[in-house]
Amino acid sequence: MKKTVLVSGGAGFIGSHVTVELIAAGYDVVVADNMSNCDLTCFEGVKKITGREDIPFVKMDFCDMDAVRRLFSQYSIDAVIHFAAFKAVGESVAEPLKYYKNNLISFMNILESGCPNVLFSSSATVYGEPEQVPVTEQSPRQPATSPYGNTKQICEDILQDTVKASGGALRGILLRYFNPIGAHPSALIGELPRGVPNNLVPFITQTAIGKRECLSIFGNDYPTADGTCLRDYIDIVDLAKAHVYAVRRMLDGKMEQGCEVYNVGTGRPVSVLELVNAFEKVNNLKLNYKFAPRRAGDVTAIWADPTLANEKLGWKAERSVEDTLKSAWAWELHLAGK
């Protein structure tokens, strides 16, 4: 029997890529999204890539428990991958209650649905400014520096506690993402930032296409080789595949603990300047950029030790940064109709 996976927030950047990979791996998928931060572009792209016109799509808000109950009675759902959340760090500082209400209540509603397998999309942000790099899953979490980051930590704790209290009825997986970038090789789905992008790669592609005048590189006086910050940029398709391996482990009864935690990264640090240079080189263009003051809240250097995911999930990041940056540019060109 085919298993069914609910992807909450499945019309967004990560959710749409995960939906494609789940379908490719033979799962049935139900996509649910309140469309608060996206349109149907990516969902339409998912249908084209998979050749599946029949993927169920439910427009709903996970903060609405009645809607959550209806969803779970309509479909027989074996596992949930939960993405539906607000994600703008700056906005979360300005409007903390909006973030705490939305991100926490929606997740608790999912847990209350009684679904026995829940995967939560966490973030490397829980490690803060790490004392040692690369970070393993055992590296200490640091106090969050924004309400957004705090919702990730609180949801991690909620899942851990709920699994513990469930007496084996609930299994949980926390995937801690590093910096997801790029787009599907078809260029039919990708990141669709609203307004001015906060993240580096969408800002780069929008500058290259002329939507933004100039990229500011935030800080070139960090204690790194070229003075710019180091991050672990993980290809979006590689990241999406990690979810398939994780869901399979849950559904096949392979988990060794009630709640497992995995870093999803490449293990390869790349500086902002290296990324910009690689983007120029692989796409054969010049980017208008300047050095600007540091951005508040940025950590100097963080990258993953992905050994645990490699060994336990059997997953490994495969795509090169170069190929990923080509895909990001192809997506921007696709959006521009070029």
Helical ranges in the chain per DSSP H: 13-24, 41-50, 65-74, 89-94, 96-112, 147-165, 200-209, 236-251, 272-283, 307-308, 321-335
Side-chain-side CA neighbours of residue 58 (13 Å): 19
Q: How many residues bind ligand UDP (CB under 6 A)?
A: 14
Is 136 a binding residue for ligand UDP by CB under 6 A? The answer is: no
Distance separating alpha carbons of residues 31 and 282, to the nearest angstrom: 34
Cβ proximity to ligand UDP, 152 vs 241, nearer residue: 152
Of 41 and 198, nearer to ligand UDP (C-beta) is 198
Is 300 an interacting residue with respect to ligand UDP (CB under 6 A)? no
Rg of the chain in Å (alpha carbons): 19
- As a whole number of angstroms, the distance between CA 243 and CA 250 comes to 11
Query: 170-189: which residues touch ligand UDP (CB under 6 A)?
Result: 179
Q: Tell me the residue number closest to ligand UDP, measured at CB.
A: 229
Nearer to ligand UDP by Cβ, of 166 and 199: the residue is: 199
User: Does 224 participate in binding ligand UDP (rule CB under 6 A)?
Assistant: no
By CB under 6 A, residue 298 contacts ligand UDP: yes
Confirm or reject binding of residue 324 to ligand UDP (CB under 6 A).
no
Least distance to ligand UDP, CB of residue 297, Å:
8
Is 148 labeled as catalytic in the residue annotation? yes
- The answer for residues whose C-beta is within 8 angstroms of residue 161's C-beta and 6 or more apart is none
Q: Give the one residue of 203, 303, 315, 331 binding ligand UDP; rule: CB under 6 A.
A: 203
Judged by CB under 6 A, the residue of 4, 136, 186, 198 near ligand UDP is 198
| Nearest one of 300, 231, 314 to 271, comparing CA atoms | 231
SS3 4: strand
Let me know the angle formed at the C-alpha of 181 by 179 and 182, rounded to the nearest 5 degrees.
170
From 27, 99, 127, 148, the catalytic residue:
148
Q: Which of residues 255-274 bind ligand UDP (CB under 6 A)?
A: 272
Q: Active-site positions?
A: 148
Q: Which stretches of the chain bind ligand UDP, using CB under 6 A?
A: 179, 198-200, 203, 215-218, 229, 231, 272, 295, 298
